[in-house]
Amino acid sequence: MFRAKVNRSLSFLSTNSSRTTTTHGQHYQYLQCSKLPTLYFQRSLPRLPIPRLDQTCQRFLAAVEPLLTPEEQGGTRRAVEEFRQGAGMELHARLQASDAANKHTSYISQPWFDMYLADRVPLPLNYNPLLVMKSDPRPEYQQQVVRATNLIISSLRFWRSLQADLLEPEVYHMDAKKSDTAGYRRWMKVAPKALATYASYAFKAFPLDMSQYSRLFGTARIPRLGRDELVQAPDSKHVLVMRRGHMYAVNVLDSSGYIESPSVILGRLRAVLRLDSEREAAAVPLGVLTASQRDEWAQNRARFVSNPRNADLLQSEVDAALFCVCLDSEEDGVYDDSHQEPLLKHLLAGKAQNRWFDKSISLLISADGTTAINFEHSWGDGVAVLRYFNELCRDTLRQPFVSTESVHTPAEGDLGNVRPLDFEIDEATRSAVAEAYAKNAAIVDGLDMHLLRYPHLNKPACKQYGLSPDSIIQLSFQLAHRQAFAGYVGSYESCSTSAFRHGRTETMRPCTTATRSFCEALLQPARSRPPAGELRAMIDQCSRVHGQLTKEAAMGQGFDRHLFALRNTAQREGLPVPALYETEAYRRLNNNIISTSTLGSDALLAGSFGPVVRNGFGIGYSIQNDFAGAIVTTYRNQADGKVFIDSLESAFDKICAVIKESDSGSGSSSGSKEGK
């Protein structure tokens, strides 16, 4: 899977917060000054291929096999063959024709946008994920308003670098020591631009699509009946700051578009806190409405903006803000490493009083400075957000611009640059907010979250025993579910297709016949269980299959998006939806009981999202230098997350025991070399 990398070829200023800052100088205004233009590779990126229909059919059959009985498999094979020779062939031809007529993009881009924007379910838990950043270990930079100031400045430096074409192109380096170098960049600079991507391949460096980056800031999702829309104000000069449900527009760029000085931004945030301290929490926190069912929010918004003052404030100050900064209060909770779940649950969905879920990016900053990103998902995927997340963490650690000792420029009374948004609230809006709050609270109260940190499985252990980290964790999920709930279910792992122009994601199906065979063998009674060496060979086979499926998905050769696009083609052109999509096999596979996602980042403290089906498990996971971790969300009385997390720990124990026993039996400390 392609994962975003933090660029490491930069020069940094001193971290001394008392230094003099030349605010219009390049070092302050820009995060990076890349030798290659940001979109240097965009023109030469290959197009996302449409898989062959027969291969898609074969891959679908392989994916559903572990979920079906032998009798069900026979019926499914007949349905797939009928599809392949009939309606599927016609839809495939129509999809190819549409793709050929739209060479500027990918066959999945617009249907995927439409899928996100047409879904009517609330954004929190269903779509908006959470990324929590590791804290700054230095207390003088972790204090909330100081942390917020540095995060805003680094975000603006990232944004201005992107706009000025100075942000490093996103490239996945197979061997960063050999290719992420000045020499590589010199070669790329002289390569013909139309062939630059292919020249990069010679270095085993894979440029990634950056078309989503332009929507990182200044973008909002506007609720409309039936289908939402995205609006953007890339030249905006302010951010939306939220505190206890109150909303403020705070200018952070000057009239010429330069980033305001650190002391000015710090002073304006302090002015927000001063204003907030002089009044009660918002009696009608409008942000709660963004947690509503989308048609309900569309109707409420339409009524709300029928008031011209409200329409102007909402469109010019909220929708047009570069991003949202949510300054949470003490009562919202702080981070406790021994009991993380309450704060993580609040950051994921919370009470919604101090949120605007429609913004492309929201920085959530707790009273203790704990920082998270909650992002609206329709405009883009993990690669773009993770790049921003990594750069943000790195920049604030390497060169924070203010500390608790910094002097700020007072902004009290400066209503031109710190603007409280005082909407006109009628009874209909008051009632709508109360109703939305009650509905969201009921959903969030019914969400359970369980966390596991397993210290015996980590990056060094995987390297020592020659294991694929991702494969071994996905295998553990399958074993955990099998031993806890006695079955195999639809399972989902997201994989980026950003190696292609306008690529989005593809699904990797981690429940395979190989994982099923291993689980069944391991769970046999001790007297009939295969020896450790044989079980280890089965683990290696699981890794090989997992690695091949991941490679296929990343290279645009999965089957889920192809089948999605074929059904979308039928719906778009008014054709009957083929019977394949009504089969039990298709339904079971796409009822994603186990939905998983991981982001490889040293800056990540935790990541989480809601279950994608009511009786499912939403599993955010990572493998770090000192542990393997998983955060599991479930809906109460629909799925038992505690039973799953306990079973997962047992699964880790069993798999680690097999690995260690087989390793000691072979007399080797290197194990197999099936790493991914």
Which residues are designated catalytic? Answer: 377
Count other Cβ atoms within 10 Å, centred on residue 331: 9
At residue 573's C-alpha, the angle toward residues 379 and 92, to 5°, is: 85
CA–CA dist 358, 116 (Å, integer): 13
CA–CA dist 432, 445 (Å, integer): 20
String of DSSP letters for 642-670: HHHHHHHHHHHHHHHHHHHHHHHHHT-SS
CA–CA dist 325, 247 (Å, integer): 10
Instruction: Give the total residue count for the chain.
Output: 676
* 3-state DSSP assignment of residue 454: strand
Dig out the tokens for 261 from the structure. Answer: 């000085």
CA–CA dist 597, 377 (Å, integer): 14
CA–CA dist 99, 231 (Å, integer): 26
CA–CA dist 10, 4 (Å, integer): 17
| Burial letters 500-529, b for 16+ CB under 10 A, else e | bbbbbbbbbbbbbebbbebbeebeeeeeee
- CA dihedral angle for residue 472, residue 474, residue 480, residue 483, rounded to 10 degrees: -90
Q: By the 8 A CB rule, do 95 and 541 touch?
A: no
* 3-state DSSP assignment of residue 614: coil
* Amino acid making up residue 550: T
Residue 250 host element (H or E): strand 246-251
CA–CA dist 167, 163 (Å, integer): 8
| Burial letters 21-56, b for 16+ CB under 10 A, else e | bebeeeebbbbbebebbbbbbbebbebbebbebeeb
Sheet with strand 371-375: strands edge to edge: 418-420, 246-251, 238-243, 324-327, 361-365, 371-375, 130-133, 604-608
Q: By the 8 A CB rule, do 675 and 459 touch?
A: no
* 3-state DSSP assignment of residue 84: helix
At residue 323's C-alpha, the angle toward residues 296 and 402, to 5°, is: 145
| Burial letters 101-111, b for 16+ CB under 10 A, else e | eeeeebbbbbb
Q: What is the DSSP letter of 167?
A: S
* Lookup result for tokens 């009511």: 614
CA–CA dist 670, 673 (Å, integer): 8
CA–CA dist 368, 180 (Å, integer): 36
- 369 phi-psi bin (left φ>0, alpha ψ -120 to 50, beta other): left
CA–CA dist 503, 524 (Å, integer): 43
CA–CA dist 60, 188 (Å, integer): 39
Q: Where are the alpha helices (DSSP H) in 523-594?
A: 532-554, 560-572, 584-590
Please report, for residues 56, 58, 290, the alpha-carbon distance to residue 559 in angstroms, rounded to integers and kept in the order given. 5, 9, 34
CA–CA dist 157, 396 (Å, integer): 11
